[in-house]
Amino acid sequence: MFKIKLEGGRTMEVEEKTFWHTTSHILAQAIKRLYPEIKLAIGPSIDNGFYYDFDTDKPFTPEMLEKLEEEMKKIVKEDLKLERFELPREEAVKFMEEKKEPYKVELINDLPEDAVISFYKQGEFTDLCAGPHIPSTGSVKAIKLLTSSGAYWRGNENNKMLQRIYGISFPKASQLEEYLNMLEEAKKRDHRKLGKELDLFFFDETAPGMAYWMPKGFTMMNTLIELWRKEHQKRGYQEFSGPQLNSSELWKISGHWDHYKEYMFVLTDSDGKEQALKPMNCPNSIKLYQTKLRSYKDLPLRFNDIDVIHRNEKSGQLNGLFRVRMFRQDDSHNYITEDQIGSEIKDIVEIANYLYGIFGLEYQLTLSTRPDDFMGEIETWNKAEADLKKVLDEIAGENNYRINEGDGAFYGPKIDIKMKDCLGREWQMGTIQLDFQLPQRFNLYYIDKEGEKKTPIMVHRAIFGSFDRFIGIITEHFAGAFPTWLAPVQVKILPIADCHLDYAKEIKNKLEEVGIRTELDEREEKIGYKIREAQLQKTPYMLILGNKEVENNAVGVRSRKDGDIGAMSIDDFIKKIKEEEKTFAK
C-alpha cells in the first residue's frame, strides 16, 4: 500500500497497482501531448510498475523517454483530477472513433453486452478504463521510465507489433531512489550473468528456453534434490517416474488439451497418432493411482516426482531460468479424503517452512480463486474455496493472507506461496492446489469404511516450484555466494609451490573421503592470483598450503566471508565444515 497526500493535509492509502495504473494514464497523456499521431493500446499496472503499449512505426529512443518523463512531471504539477464517467456502447464507440483510437474501439466491441463502459478524464485527456484510480495526478511525486520494447497487440504474434514503455512511480522521491538502487544491485546479481561466470549453466540458441547444466550447476541441482528427497521420504511420500510423452487422449481426459494445448509440444508418432510432451505430471500420477484398488486406509497417498517437463512458452517470454521450456518440477500429487484437507495442507506448509527456513526466505500465502475458464460445477468450486479459506484462517489467521481473485488453476483453487528475496523482490514459488475435478474425470475412487466407492480429492503441490527456477532465484538472492552446504565447490586447495603438491593431494583425499566437495589448483601461478580467482568463484573456503603447513601437518584457512582465519589441523577444519552442514539441516 502507498500513502498519498490529498488536499487540506489529508492522507489516504491506495493499492500500489491503482497508483501505477494512474501513472500509465499520465504516460499516455504525455504521449498525446508530444506525439498526437501515436495511437493508444492498453496501459495496465504490473507487479512492479506499469507499461503502456502504443502504435508507432518508430521505436522509442532514450531521448524520447526523457522528453516523455519531463512532460509527465508537468502533468503531475498540474494536479489534474481524475473524473470517471460512463457511456452507452454506441456512444462509447463513436467517442473513440472521433478520437481516432482504433484499439480502444476494438476493446469496446469485445466487451460483453451487459458491460459497463467507463472512461477516466484528466484535463484534456480521456482514456477508456474500468479503474480504479487515485484522485489526482498530483500525488505521483516520483516517476522513472525504465525501458521500451516491442510487443504484439494482445500478445498475439499474428497481430501488429506495438511499442511498449515500462515505468515505475512512487509517492516519494526517496522510494524511487531506493527502487533504482535495488535495480542496480539486481543487475549485478543477474543469474544469467553469474551462471556463466561461476560455470553453473548456460543457454544456447539451438535449444531456446532449455538450460545446459554444467557439472558445478548440476552438483547444486543434485544437492537440492537430495535435501528435498530426504524431507519427503520422512513424511511418507513415494517417489515415482512417468513417461515424457503421452497420447493426446490422456490430455483430453485431463482437460489440458482444451485449456493448455497452446503451451504443449505436440507431435505425431510413427503410427500416425497424436502425442504430446508432458507439461504437467498430474495425469501420470493418476495412472499410477489407477494401478490397484485403493482403500480409505491407504489415504493420504502421496506420489512425488522430479521428472523433466516441457512447456511451449513463447520465445519473447523466455527469461533465463525464470521462464523456460524445460525444467524439473519438485512435484507431488496427494490423494486424500475430504476430512483430511486441513491436516494435509498444514503438513505441506510445514515442509515449506522447513525448506524455506534453510535459506532464510520469508514468504506469504495467497488464495487464488476460480478463473474465467474454470472446469466443473460452481458449487464444487465454492466448496473447495471455502475449504481453503478455513485452512488459511487456521494457519495464517484471518486477513493475514492475500486473495488473488480469478487466478486459480482451471481445475481448482490454489494457495500460492510468494517469497521475498534479500532485495525485497517477490517471487511466485510453491503452490498447493485443491482439485475436485480430475479425480472425477478419471473416475478415481477408493473404498470407504462402509465398503462404498468414494472419489478422492487430489492435491497438486510444489514447494520450490521447480529446481531450475529456484536455483535462478537463490543465485540472485545470494549473489552467487552460496552457503557452504550448497556451494558446488566447498573448498579450494591452493598449494604455494610444486613442492607442496603431494601434501595438497593428501588433504584433498581426506576431504573427499568425508564428502566435502573439493578442488585442487595445481597451476604454476602466484598464490595471490589463486586466492583472487577462488574469491571471484565465490568458493566458501580456501586452504593455503606452504612449508609451514606441511611441517605442522596443518592447513591455512581462508574464508570467503572473513578472510584469513588462521591455521588449524585438517581434522578441526573438517569438523568446522560438518558443523556448518548440521546447522542448515536443523
Count of CB atoms within 10 A of residue 241's CB? 12
- Residue pair 519/490 in contact (Cβ under 8 Å)? The answer is no
The reply to whether 317 belongs to the active site is no
- Of 164, 460, 461, 558, which residue is the catalytic one? 460
Rounded Cα–Cα distance for residues 234 and 301 (Å): 14
SS (H, E, C) 363-374: EEEEEECCCCCC
- Of 275, 329, 340, 490, which residue is the catalytic one? 329
Count of CB atoms within 10 A of residue 87's CB? 17
Rounded Cα–Cα distance for residues 158 and 172 (Å): 41
- Sheet containing 457-462: give its strands across: 238-239, 301-305, 331-336, 457-462, 426-435, 414-420, 362-368, 402-404
DSSP-derived secondary structure letter, 117: -
**Quick one: cell of 309?**
517437463
Helices marked H in 359-466: 378-395, 438-441
> 582 in helix, strand or coil?
helix
The reply to whether 477 belongs to the active site is no
At how many degrees (to 10) do helices 467-477 and 215-234 cross?
110
The reply to whether 435 belongs to the active site is no
Q: Which residues of 38-74 are buried (b: 16+ CB within 10 A; e: fewer)?
A: bbbbbbebeeebbbbbbbeeeebeeebbebbeebbbe
Rounded Cα–Cα distance for residues 363 and 357 (Å): 10
**DSSP-assigned states of every residue in 328-385:** E--EEEEEE-GGGHHHHHHHHHHHHHHHHHHTT-EEEEEEE---TT--S-HHHHHHHH
The reply to whether 25 belongs to the active site is no
How long a stretch of residues is the chain? 586
Query: What is the radius of gyration, based on Cα positions, of the chain?
Result: 28
Rounded Cα–Cα distance for residues 117 and 92 (Å): 7
Provide the β-strand partners of residue 454: 446
Element housing 64 (H / E):
helix 62-78
- Residue pair 204/192 in contact (Cβ under 8 Å)? The answer is no
The reply to whether 163 belongs to the active site is no
For 368, counting Cβ atoms within 10 Å of its Cβ (0-12 exposed, 13-18 middle, 19+ buried), the class is buried
DSSP-derived secondary structure letter, 481: -
- Of 164, 191, 282, 421, which residue is the catalytic one? 282
The reply to whether 414 belongs to the active site is yes
The reply to whether 331 belongs to the active site is yes
- Residue pair 473/421 in contact (Cβ under 8 Å)? The answer is yes
- Residue pair 344/300 in contact (Cβ under 8 Å)? The answer is yes
- Of 25, 311, 517, 530, which residue is the catalytic one? 311
- Residue pair 191/185 in contact (Cβ under 8 Å)? The answer is no
Provide the β-strand partners of residue 404: 368
- Of 370, 414, 517, 558, which residue is the catalytic one? 414
Q: Do strands 2-5 and 11-14 pair parallel, antiparallel, or not at all (unpaired)?
A: antiparallel
**Quick one: cell of 505?**
593431494
What's the one-letter identity of residue 189? R
Which residues are known to be catalytic?
A: 282, 311, 329, 331, 333, 414, 460
